């Protein structure tokens, strides 16, 4: 079983980017923690980051037939991207939406997720641990599919 972790814009800056909101873990250290947990669960993971909306769309499309589930931190595109929503709807691969911060406790423009209605569920507000929770959720979704 393979879980594809996709990370959107500015998440390459984790560690130094607004640490009071996003914490001090880098994306590389989060990936290490996810890989450790994935090994314990006996699943494989792939971890990617891009600042480009179109690249995220392409990766979601490519997941069909290559990954059993996607854990997606679409970052700011969460709130704006009809293209991401359409890609998720089109491929039929289950997607777990994830965020480090609690988007519902922040500015009102972050309260709405364009992708939430087409995702299996949303994990938001647990910092780096959101990634572990998303892994657990994605694996569970696959097992119960």
Q: Which of 13, 41, 75, 118 binds ligand DQA (CB under 6 A)?
A: 75
Q: How far apart are CB 143 and ligand DQA at their closest, in Å? A: 25
Cβ nearer to ligand DQA, comparing 44 with 50: 50
At what angle are helices 27-41 and 129-143 packed, to 10 degrees? 30
Active site residues: 22, 99
- Candidates 49, 73, 81, 122; binder of ligand DQA (CB under 6 A) is 73
Does 78 engage in binding with ligand DQA (CB under 6 A)? yes
User: Which of 63, 74 has the CB closer to ligand DQA?
Assistant: 74
Q: Are residues 124 and 130 in contact, defined by beta-carbon separation less than 8 angstroms?
A: yes
**What are the DSSP E strand ranges found in the chain?**
2-7, 44-49, 69-73, 95-99, 121-124
Site pattern 86..125 for ligand DQA (x: CB under 6 A): -------------xxx-x------x---------------
**Interaction of residue 50 with ligand DQA, rule CB under 6 A:** no
Count the neighbouring beta carbons within 10 Å of the beta carbon of residue 48.
12
Closest distance of CB 103 from ligand DQA, Å:
5
Residues 117-134 as b/e (b if ≥16 CB within 10 A, e otherwise) read ebbbebbbbbbbebbbbb
Which two three-digit tokens encode residue 133? 């929770």
The binding site for ligand DQA (CB under 6 A) comprises 10, 73, 75-76, 78, 99-101, 103, 110
């Amino acid at each position: 079983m393979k879980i594809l972790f996709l990370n959107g814009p500015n998440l390459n800056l984790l560690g130094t980017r607004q640490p009071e909101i996003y914490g001090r873990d880098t994306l590389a250290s989060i990936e290490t923690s996810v890989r450790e947990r994935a090994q314990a669960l006996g699943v494989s993971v792939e971890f990617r980051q891009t600042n480009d909306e179109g690249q995220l769309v392409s990766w979601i499309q490519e997941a069909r037939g290559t990954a059993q589930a996607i854990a997606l931190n679409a970052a700011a595109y969460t709130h704006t991207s009809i293209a991401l929503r359409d890609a998720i709807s089109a491929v039929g691969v289950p997607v777990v939406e994830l965020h480090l911060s609690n988007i519902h406790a922040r500015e009102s423009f972050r309260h709405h997720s364009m992708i939430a209605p087409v995702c299996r569920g949303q994990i938001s507000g647990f910092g780096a641990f959101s990634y572990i929770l998303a892994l657990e959720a994605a694996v569970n979704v696959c097992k119960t599919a």
